[in-house]
Amino acid sequence: MDTHELTKMLHTKHDSKIVFLIADGLGGLAKEPGGPTELEAADTPNLDALAKNGCSGSMYPVGRGITPGSGPGHLGVFGYDPLKYMIGRGVLEATGIGFKVGPNDVAIRCNFCTLDADGKITDRRAGRIPTEESAPLAVKLRQVSIPGVEVFVEPVKEHRFVVVFRGKGLGDKVLDTDPQETGVVPLDPVAEDEPSKKTAEIAAKFYTQAIKLLADQPKANGLTMRGFSGLPHIPTYEDVYGLKAAAIASYPMYKGLAQLVGMEIVGDASTLEEEVEVLADVWDKYDFFFVHFKYTDSRGEDGNFEAKVKMIEEFDKIVPDVVKLGPDVLVVTGDHSTPAALASHSWHPVPVLMSAKDCRCDPCEKFSENEALKGGFGHFEAIHLMPMALAHAGRLAKFGA
């Protein structure tokens, strides 16, 4: 029996409220051995108070040694096994720009490229053509028309754009057309199973028409298609936890990921303060709230230790406004680590704290990677976080008599 079969079997009606405050890329690294991490260097009186009276732990979003992308990182925190529910590149790219991928869609991550007179690729990224030049080209491709299927073309950034085919019975097992080298022509789209043959044919038709539309373009006269993918079959929060869930995020990617597990996107906040205002506004309408804060990750990705420290302090400041709402269970964590020292996502575990009436208070004095090692939750994989939150929220019945 997997975790979701269990939570589904045991879930219980309750009017308790659960809040997940997710600081993206929260976990960090010290500048030198024995020094503080970004979280440890930050002045976080509110988070420390929660940790002191709550329960902490050290969490692996995917698994030990595994550096999670944003997709797997969030799926893990949401309680879904990231190794079971794989989100394709096309779907993730579409999700990242706010395109709502539907059940009959196949999404494709495309690159503009340049082709020579023989149709051979000369630059796989069309010289990283600026977005203001590539976006009109993507829009131009909306002229492609294929009978029996809806076609969406969306600009992304520089040479990247997204194509979505919407139609019944489209498989997504189609190989990339990007040959990963120059001096050769793009590959034909090849289906790997029966239901994907139709998709491959549509992709071939799309390509033929698109190439004609781009023929006279000096900056980008070709394209390649990668990461063909449909919506993964993910059960919803309502299904597996019996929770009506709301997502409050400012970036499309995180809204999209939340939608994949059946959360409703609420509000239109762009700052953390606005996110908390939205939270207060919709408080009565939902059981579960995912509140996403992006900038801890961004400053980590920039490699800027001090700026990440500042973002963590900003994050700490809004905590009292969340606490004031009276959540039965408040969880604070990240979807992965983004140490400024590495300027990228990393495999290091993420500290977690839970504040709830029935927490067994542990010896942690503050919210920190190192304090969390002493935490009552120990070291655990992210998929175990939701059952613990549900339990503390009085939403899981006894298992067996």
Q: Taking each helix axis from N to C terminus, what angle separates 305-324 and 45-52, rounded to the nearest 10 degrees?
A: 60
The yes or no reply on residue 30 touching a copy of itself (CB under 8 A) is yes
By DSSP bridging, strand 264-265 and strand 245-248 are: parallel
Binding flag, residue 365, a copy of itself (CB under 8 A): no
Residues 112, 121 contacting (CB under 8 angstroms): no
CA 357, chain centre distance (Å)? 30
Q: Which of 257, 249, 252, 242 is nearest to 279 (CA)?
A: 249
- Among residues 215 and 397, whose Cβ is nearest to a copy of itself? 397
Q: Which of 379, 338, 381, 372 is nearest to 62 (CA)?
A: 381
Look at residue 391 and give its three-state secondary structure.
helix
Nearer to a copy of itself, 275 or 287 (CB): 287
Q: Which of 23, 26, 29, 51 binds a copy of itself (CB under 8 A)?
A: 29
Binds a copy of itself by CB under 8 A, chosen from 8, 67, 144, 298: 67
Nearer to a copy of itself, 163 or 352 (CB): 352
Minimal distance, residue 216 CB to a copy of itself, in Å: 33
Q: Is 13 in the site for a copy of itself (CB under 8 A)?
A: no
- 187 and 176 in contact (C-beta within 8 Å)? yes
The maximal CA–CA distance of the chain, rounded, in angstroms, is 75
- Using the contact rule CB under 8 A, the part of the chain among 138-146, 147-155, 312-320, 371-379 near a copy of itself is 371-379
Structural contact between residues 113 and 126, judged by C-beta atoms closer than 8 angstroms? yes
Binding mask 321-350 for a copy of itself (x = CB under 8 A): ------------------x-xx-xxxxxx-
The single residue among 142, 285, 324, 379 that binds a copy of itself, judged by CB under 8 A, is: 379
Instruction: Rule CB under 8 A: choose which of 25, 82, 230, 327 binds a copy of itself.
Output: 82
CB of 75 to a copy of itself, least distance (A): 8
Is 68 a residue that touches a copy of itself (CB under 8 A)?
yes
Tokens read off for 277: 């205002």
Q: Is residue 380 involved in binding a copy of itself (CB under 8 A)?
A: yes
Angle between helices 131-140 and 194-214 (to 10 degrees): 110
Distance CA 370, CA 372 (A): 5
Other C-beta atoms lying within 10 Å of the C-beta of residue 392: 24
Q: Is 3 in the site for a copy of itself (CB under 8 A)?
A: yes
- Interface residue list for a copy of itself (CB under 8 A): 1, 3, 6, 10, 29-30, 33-34, 37, 52-53, 58, 62-73, 82-84, 86-87, 89, 92-93, 339, 341-342, 344-349, 358-363, 369-370, 373-380, 384, 386-391, 396-401
